[in-house]
């Protein structure tokens, strides 16, 4: 196999070879001369590789690079924006003029003049995410060989009829500069590997089982030494067979012990999206709805029990939403969203922080502006939103031992939540019946259903730091035109009392 490229301190040379500072100088000066009160420039180089195998055969391989330039301005309190794939100084000047023209044309429609919260100036700073081996430096043949090995190992089991393996890789290089004097250069690497086994039933049905490994902000080392793939792949056929033979759940109310591999998604949908301030203010009504957690309830809304401590942050090691600075030049931070069960904070960009400072009690953005590419306007996007563990909390096994009649939920699958992030339903990869503090086997056809405050209000116990795991997704969607962002959510194992359980097979009328 070829020798992988080990992480370097510097950013990708192909990105640094672009005339970054010349582009910024040209755009910012032109914007100033045209009357802009504020201007910022982003230059981005995004590389994505997708690879998939079906039954040990390469099915798909794509590798694409996007390079572009964006200019955003404020003129007479109104936003203007323009972008292009032409990364030249002449184009930077043209974009600045176009952005100013857009702002002036839009001014009669703007009823709320734009002002930005103050932020310190960061002069010529660089940040690179934490990884050891650049996945784009690993030969494709080596990746295919590894996944072919995994596939053949699983297909050797009599109860595994098909194996699908996919890998998404991303490298995000971003240069930012604004008229205040901030200049940042950043690079992020992230991976999403996934293995799914399928078992066919003689009667024509089928069952699937997927690995629990989360997407991460790491390099190729995650596929070799950074995760126990051997154990998970060995267990997958056994889990698949047990699921296929499992009894269908009897609907009713059960105590749930929810593993981080499932709970991260419930956090994402019921807490992460609900505490985006633009959604709570009604700006995000058209795509995925608003939020029940409105600004007038800050400091009073009982989100859950006193155990509930949820933070937003951009610092988490290997987090998918971890950065040095956001797309408005705001430094990465950590803050409380829910503390002692009460809503105490939101996710902010500079405009929302300034506009709502009196109600928020803060006057600085917490760094939640992000655009998913050079042709998109930055919008308020989710940081790593995480439920903190109990400092001296129990293990998962100890939590299970405290449940008389319940279900242990492992892995994420499908979900549904209403347009105010309040009524929801979640399923999972595996469900284990708990009787008298012991797991007695898998169940199937399980979904748990609740309202957000009812669910978090039933949380009775949290695991300790040893149960804490970082989950997440590459594909969080928001805004129109639609943008996609990667985000992580950490959490411990947790116990929820008396949660409503549906039988999905019966609910579907089968």
Task: List C-alpha distances in Å: 92 to 32, 87, 89.
Answer: 13, 7, 5
Question: H-helix or E-strand containing 367?
Answer: none
Note the pLDDT of residue 196: 98
Tell me what pLDDT residue 52 has.
Answer: 98
**What DSSP character marks residue 445?**
S
- Cα 248-249-251 angle, rounded to 5 deg: 135
- Map out the domains of the chain with their CATH numbers: 13-245 (3.30.2290.10), 248-507 (no CATH)
DSSP symbol at 32: H
| Cα Rg, the chain, nearest whole Å | 24
- Do 100 and 78 form a contact (C-beta atoms < 8 A)? no
Output the pLDDT for position 510. Answer: 64
Collapsing DSSP to helix, strand or coil, 122 comes out as: coil
Q: Whole-angstrom Cα distance, residue 496 to residue 297?
A: 24
DSSP string, 73-119: EEETTEEEEEEES--SHHHHHHHHHHHHHHHHHHGGG-SS-------
pTM of the model: 0.96
Could you give the C-alpha distances from 250 to 373, 449, 491, in angstroms and in order? 47, 14, 28
The answer to whether the CB of 434 falls within 8 A of the CB of 403 is yes
Tell me what pLDDT residue 18 has. 98
Tell me what pLDDT residue 203 has.
Answer: 81
Distance linking the first and last C-alpha atoms of the chain: 50
Asked if 23 and 67 touch (Cβ cutoff 8 Å), the reply is no
Measure the CA angle with vertex 472, ends 403 and 348; round to 5°.
110
Cα(256)–Cα(459) distance, integer angstroms: 9
What is the chain's pLDDT, residue by residue, as a tens digit (510 residues)? 344 444 445 799 999 999 999 999 999 999 999 999 999 999 999 999 999 999 999 999 999 999 999 999 999 999 999 999 999 999 999 999 999 999 999 999 999 999 999 999 999 999 999 999 999 999 999 999 999 999 999 999 999 999 999 999 999 999 999 999 999 999 999 999 999 999 998 888 899 999 999 999 999 999 999 999 999 999 999 999 999 999 999 999 999 999 999 999 999 999 999 999 999 999 988 888 999 999 999 999 999 999 999 999 999 999 999 999 999 999 999 999 999 999 999 999 999 999 999 999 999 999 999 999 999 999 999 999 999 999 999 999 999 999 999 999 999 999 999 999 999 999 999 999 999 999 999 999 999 999 999 999 999 999 999 999 999 999 999 998 999 999 999 999 999 999 999 999 898 876
pLDDT at 507: 86
Kind and range of the H or E run holding 300: none
């Amino acid at each position: 196999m070829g020798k992988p490229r080990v992480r370097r301190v510097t950013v990708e040379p192909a990105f640094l070879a672009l005339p970054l500072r010349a582009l910024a100088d040209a755009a910012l000066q032109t914007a100033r001369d045209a009357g802009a009160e504020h201007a910022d420039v982003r230059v981005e180089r995004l590389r994505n590789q997708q690879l998939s195998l079906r039954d040990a055969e390469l099915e798909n391989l794509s590798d694409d690079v996007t390079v572009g330039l964006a200019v955003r301005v404020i003129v007479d309190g109104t936003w203007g924006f323009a972008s292009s794939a032409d990364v030249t100084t002449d184009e930077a000047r043209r974009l600045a003029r176009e952005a100013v023209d857009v702002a002036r044309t839009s001014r009669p429609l703007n009823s709320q003049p734009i002002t930005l919260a103050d932020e310190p100036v960061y002069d010529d700073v660089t940040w690179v995410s934490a990884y050891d081996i650049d996945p784009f430096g690993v030969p494709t043949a080596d990746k295919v060989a590894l996944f072919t090995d995994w596939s053949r190992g699983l297909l050797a089991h009599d109860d595994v009829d098909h194996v699908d393996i996919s890998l998404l890789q991303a490298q995000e290089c971003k240069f930012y500069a604004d008229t205040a004097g901030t200049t940042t250069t950043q690079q992020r690497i992230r991976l999403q590997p996934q293995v799914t086994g399928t078992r066919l039933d003689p009667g024509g049905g089928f069952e699937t089982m997927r690995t629990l490994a989360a997407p991460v902000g790491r390099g190729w080392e995650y596929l070799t030494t950074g995760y126990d793939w051997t154990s998970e792949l060995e267990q997958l056929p056994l889990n698949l067979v047990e699921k296929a033979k499992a009894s269908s759940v009897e609907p009713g109310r059960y105590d749930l012990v929810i593993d981080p591999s499932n709970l991260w998604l419930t956090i994402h949908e019921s807490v992460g999206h609900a505490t985006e301030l633009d959604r709570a203010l009604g700006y995000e009504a058209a795509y995925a709805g608003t939020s029940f957690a409105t600004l007038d309830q800050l400091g009073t809304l009982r989100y859950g029990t006193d155990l509930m401590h949820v933070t937003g942050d951009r610092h988490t090691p290997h987090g998918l939403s971890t950065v040095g600075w956001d797309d408005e030049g705001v430094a990465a931070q950590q803050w409380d969203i829910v503390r002692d069960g009460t809503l105490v904070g939101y996710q902010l960009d500079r405009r929302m922080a300034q506009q709502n400072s009196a109600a928020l009690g803060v006057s600085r953005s917490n760094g939640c502006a992000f655009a998913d590419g050079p042709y998109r306007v930055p919008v308020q996007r989710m940081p790593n939103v995480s439920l903190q563990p109990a400092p001296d909390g129990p293990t998962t096994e100890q939590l299970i031992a405290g449940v008389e009649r319940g279900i242990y939920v492992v892995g994420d699958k499908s979900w549904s939540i209403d347009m105010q992030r309040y009524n929801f339903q979640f399923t999972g990869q595996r469900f284990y019946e708990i009787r008298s503090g012991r797991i007695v086997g898998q169940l199937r056809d399980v979904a748990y259903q609740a309202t957000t405050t009812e669910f978090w209000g039933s949380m009775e116990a949290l695991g300790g730091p040893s149960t804490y795991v970082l989950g997440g997704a590459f594909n969080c969607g928001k805004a129109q035109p639609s943008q996609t962002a990667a985000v992580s959510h950490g959490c411990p194992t947790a116990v929820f009392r008396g949660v409503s359980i549906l039988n999905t097979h019966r609910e579907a009328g089968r």
